[in-house]
Amino acid sequence: MNDSAEFYDALETRDPQQREEALLQALPKQVAHAQRSTTAWARRLAGIDPRELTSRAALARLPVTRKHDLAEEQKAHRASDPFGGFAAIGWRAMRASGALRVFQSPGGLYEPEGGVPDYWRIARAVYAARFRRGDLAHNSFSYHLTPAGSMMETGAHAVGCTVFPGGVGNTELQLQAMLDLRPDGYLGTPSFLKILLDKADAMGRALPHLRKALVSGEAFPPSLRQAFAARGIDGYQCYATADVGLIAYETAAREGLVLDEQVIVEIVRPGTGDPVPDGEVGEVVVTTLNPDYPLVRFGTGDLSAVLPGRCPTGRTNTRIRGWMGRADQTTKVRGMFVHPSQVADVLARHPELRRARLVVSGAVAQDRMTLHAEVEGAPEGLALRVAETVREITKLRCEVQLVSPGTLPNDGKVIEDARRYD
């Protein structure tokens, strides 16, 4: 790594075909390792021959594993393996070794951290946010229970930064530390940085040394970015999760987020594992190349879409639009849960339908479901047949409106709750 270079390493400017070939060469080895080294993946991928996973089409035939699957497996096997059989590392009690730390995410979900430097691969995002060797980074992510603090710290260390472990809360103490130590940059949520800056303004104090920030964990709207810029702070964002680490990061181009080099990312139709065309909004599904915690087709539950073209900075990896909401749009209608996967089942039974959106409207206790479905032309009796299918699958009555292709919004919504709650 050259501290004066634009890019963290040469991987960022590889020929896209070379990158794709490298990822698809690593995929069969990773799946074979997961089957061999973990009990959960041995069960979930039973009968899969890793040698056949030589394309994205082959990868798309594997099941999607979501966070609730991890939670259920962990709960079922907690006595013998707190990681539910998904991790290849642990500690002596698990008859495995290699875990440096264990973290807990909301819902009682446990994740391992291995001993490899920059385990979560955050350094690439830290570097893109202009942090450099010798900088002091003020880290305001949590250092207890959840991995966010460690994720940012290990990434900053890999770049060569010194880190002040501020953690969460204690606004006055953290601000005093910033005034005393004069950090070059901030790592944390954008909302807490605003709290610190507003507090400094109220005290009549300035932080002229603070020139950059890498934020994550929540939305970073343009208004907040501009507010930071007005104070001389260049803010960048990255997209990472406690399960897979870094997924994508922002560059100086400010045009979407560039994918990390060590993940295979798919955008799938919510409620399914079916990849959508580039540009269409869907759920982010990630396969990691981390041998310690080999998640295969992990559904993040987040919505995004692929952006066309390359990043103007010269980075050649795929770009996504960033976080666009949650994919789990499960809705309760007349006491019954309706899931996006049920809408997908309707489409599967009527292949002439292209896309569909279930709209729940009306006042409380007067719910009404309408399925808006795109179709080329309107075959006689199709709407009635689709309505019968919806009732069979959901046990609820539903109106069906057939619309022309391209009519429905490209926002990833499969179920829209438009009810009035006043």
Any idea which residue has 């291995």 for tokens?
114
Q: Say how far apart CA 361 and CA 347 lie, in whole Å.
A: 21
Cα three-residue angle 146-148-149, rounded to 5 degrees:
100
The pLDDT score that the predictor gives to residue 417 is: 87
pLDDT of 10 strictly over 80: yes
Q: Cβ distance 229 to 190 under 8 Å? A: no
User: What phi and psi values does residue 17 have, to the nearest 5 degrees?
Assistant: -65, -40
- Say yes or no to pLDDT of 171 above 80: yes
Three-class DSSP category at 306: strand
Average pLDDT, the chain: 93
AA identity, residue 236: Y
Query: What class has domain 331-417?
Result: alpha beta
Instruction: For residues 116 and 401, give the distance between their C-alpha atoms in angstroms, rounded to a whole number.
Output: 54
Chain-centroid distance of CA 59 in Å reads 18
Give the pLDDT band (50/70/90) at residue 348: very high
pLDDT of residue 419: 82
Report yes or no: 197 and 226 within 8 Å, Cβ to Cβ: no
* Cα–Cα distances in angstroms (integers) from residue 158 to residues 215, 243, 282, 403, in the given order: 18, 20, 33, 53
Looking at residue 364, its pLDDT comes to: 54
The pLDDT-based confidence of 365 (bands split at 50, 70, 90) is low
Determine the average pLDDT of the residues in 223-236: 95
More confident residue, 229 or 328: 229
Residue 242 tokens, joined: 């406690």
CA distances from 379 to 79, 345, 376, 402 (A): 56, 20, 9, 10
Q: Name, of 62-76, 115-129, 331-345, 353-367, the range with top average pLDDT.
A: 115-129
- Report the amino acid identity of residue 88: A
Q: Is the pLDDT of residue 216 over 80?
A: yes
